[in-house]
């Protein structure tokens, strides 16, 4: 079986695809056989010999060994990838949405067809994380994986803090600078981070994850005040993807903003950087940081996957177990209301003597102990802004306390969980 050169077909020559073509120039054991693009006439800064606007030509080309899918979205990506797998092609993809929604189906099909599906670039851009979890850290039983998984929102939160500006103003700047898309929903509402934590949870806990059961909250409600108050209290606000085992061996998976203590290294991850923290036995805690997106960092991960397949290509006729996702057991995922957290609560209350008492009583009624309570001055409309940080409490109890406060004309500006 001497087939020295690995032939790849690329679907998508956008930012990531271009980076892959440029990076692969350094490697003689991989040949780009063809690439599929949406618009054949578009000017590009990379040259690929066989360009097509029909991606099915790539997945059906008998000469292509590996299909590199960097176009994104589920349609037609799912059909393309399943067709390619049935045609016995290995897959390298950066498609976090596809993996989160259809990973189980894709991995089953890949196992049946004895091909590899690698996806280092789907999580945290250039940071090596999928590979290390599957190989170097394979001996561990993990209890937690968490991190900053979306560069756009981290950039926005960093700039909101630096410039003391509102989310809306900051988003406009980020869009102008190319850090946020024209329709930023996927990033700012936490969908992107949700897809990534789904994939991380899958390989960390060896369970199938239902992405629809992941609690998700974006950063659009974070105010400049929240960031300022958090800073005063010794925290940074970060959008965190989190998956952790509960005492009952269930999984608590969610994406939402969190107050991160400045003593935690994650609080120091700024701008478009990403970070992933793993906790397990025997390794204890390890953290990986680096660029979470961008042409070249993402290409680093895609090319790493391609070279891994190239390295095994001439030497084994099977897919090595470390590349497989053989686990079929579905995770028991708990609802956010059954989680326990510390909370930051920003409260808008009438400026009257009884307010602090009402807040204290509502918390006490619901088994919530307060760790600190600060009144942040009186506003022009004669309301007081009160910041409460709780001890660990049940989410269920917190939601009830908030209902009690609302019933007494006390509004909640924001509720943010604390790491």
First to last CA, the chain: 53
**CA distances, 379 to each of 54, 351, 376, 386 (Å):** 60, 9, 9, 11
What's the closest the beta carbon of residue 130 comes to a second copy, in angstroms? 8
Smallest separation (angstroms) from a second copy to the CB of 155: 15
What's the closest the beta carbon of residue 15 comes to a second copy, in angstroms? Answer: 12
* DSSP assigned state of 71: S
Say which of 89, 196, 236, 238 is annotated catalytic: 196
Output 256 or 323, the one with its CB closest to a second copy. 323
Quote the tokens at residue 108.
Answer: 């089953």
Going by the DSSP 8-state scheme, the letter that residue 381 receives in this structure is: T
Query: Number of H helices and number of E strands within the chain?
Result: 13, 17
As a whole number of angstroms, the distance between CA 264 and CA 259 comes to 10
DSSP annotation string for 229-250: HHHHTTEEEEEEEEEEE-TTS-
Distance between CA atoms of 191 and 198, rounded to whole angstroms?
Answer: 11
Tokens describing residue 391: 């001890």
Q: How far is the CB of 282 from a second copy (least distance, A)?
A: 3
Residues that bind a second copy (CB under 8 A): 19, 22-24, 26-27, 120, 126-128, 130-132, 135-141, 265, 268, 281-291, 294-297, 299-301, 303-308, 311-312, 315-316, 318, 320-322
Between 73 and 268, whose beta carbon lies closer to a second copy?
A: 268
Considering beta carbons, is residue 268 or 354 the nearer one to a second copy? 268
Q: Quick one: 78 or 287, whose CB is closer to a second copy?
A: 287
| Residue 140 · residue 306 · CB < 8 Å | no
* Residue 196 appears among annotated catalytic residues: yes
Q: How far is the CB of 119 from a second copy (least distance, A)?
A: 11
Residue closer to a second copy by CB (options 120, 192) is 120
Q: Which is nearer to a second copy, 56 or 296 (CB)?
A: 296
Task: CB nearer to a second copy: give 5 or 224.
Answer: 5
Instruction: Name 118's bridge partners.
Output: 92
| Tokens at 33, concatenated | 């056989």
- 250 is written with which tokens? 């269930």
Tokens of 232: 């005063």
Residue 162: count of CB within 10 angstroms of its CB = 12
State in angstroms the smallest separation of the CB of 310 from a second copy: 8
Give the phi and the psi of residue 275 in degrees, each rounded to 5: -150, 145
Q: Which two tokens stand for residue 401?
A: 């306390």
Q: Closest Cα partner for 32 from 42, 40, 24? A: 24
Least distance to a second copy, CB of residue 112, Å: 17
Active-site residue set: 196
């Amino acid at each position: 079986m001497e087939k020295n050169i690995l032939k790849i077909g690329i679907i998508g020559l956008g930012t990531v695809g271009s980076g892959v073509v440029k990076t692969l120039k350094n490697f003689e054991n991989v040949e780009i056989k063809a690439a599929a693009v949406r618009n054949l006439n578009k000017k590009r800064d990379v040259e690929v010999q066989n360009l097509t606007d029909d991606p099915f030509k790539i997945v059906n080309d008998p000469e292509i060994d590996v299909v590199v899918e960097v176009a994104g979205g589920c349609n037609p990506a799912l059909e393309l990838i399943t067709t390619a797998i049935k045609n016995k092609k290995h897959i390298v993809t950066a498609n976090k949405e596809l993996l989160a929604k259809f990973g189980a189906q894709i991995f089953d099909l890949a196992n049946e067809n004895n091909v590899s599906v690698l996806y280092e670039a789907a999580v945290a851009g250039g940071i090596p994380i999928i590979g290390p979890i599957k190989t170097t850290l394979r001996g561990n039983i993990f209890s937690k994986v968490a991190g900053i998984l979306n560069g756009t929102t981290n950039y926005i939160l960093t700039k909101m803090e630096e410039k003391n500006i509102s989310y809306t103003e900051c988003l406009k700047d980020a869009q102008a600078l190319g850090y946020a898309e024209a329709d930023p929903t996927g990033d700012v509402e936490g969908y992107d981070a949700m897809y990534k934590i789904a994939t991380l949870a899958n390989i960390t806990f060896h369970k199938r994850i239902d992405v629809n059961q992941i609690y998700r909250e974006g950063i659009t409600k974070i105010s400049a005040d929240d960031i300022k108050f958090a800073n005063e209290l010794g925290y940074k606000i970060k959008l965190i993807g989190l998956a952790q085992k509960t005492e009952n061996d269930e999984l608590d998976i969610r994406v939402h903003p969190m107050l991160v203590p400045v003593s935690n290294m994650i609080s120091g991850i700024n701008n478009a950087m990403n970070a992933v923290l793993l906790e397990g036995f025997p390794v204890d805690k390890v953290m990986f940081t680096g660029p979470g997106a961008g042409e070249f960092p993402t290409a680093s991960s895609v090319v790493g996957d391609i070279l891994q397949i190239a390295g095994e290509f001439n030497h084994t006729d099977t897919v090595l177990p470390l590349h497989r996702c053989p686990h079929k057991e579905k995770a028991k995922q708990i609802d956010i209301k059954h989680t326990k957290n510390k909370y930051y609560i920003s409260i808008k209350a009438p400026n009257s003597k009884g307010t602090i008492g009402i807040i204290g009583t509502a918390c006490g009624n619901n088994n919530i102990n307060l760790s600190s309570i600060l009144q942040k001055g009186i506003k022009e409309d004669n309301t007081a802004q009160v910041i409460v940080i709780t001890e660990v409490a049940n989410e269920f109890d917190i939601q009830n306390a908030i209902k009690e406060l609302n019933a007494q004309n006390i509004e909640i500006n924001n509720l943010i969980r604390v790491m």
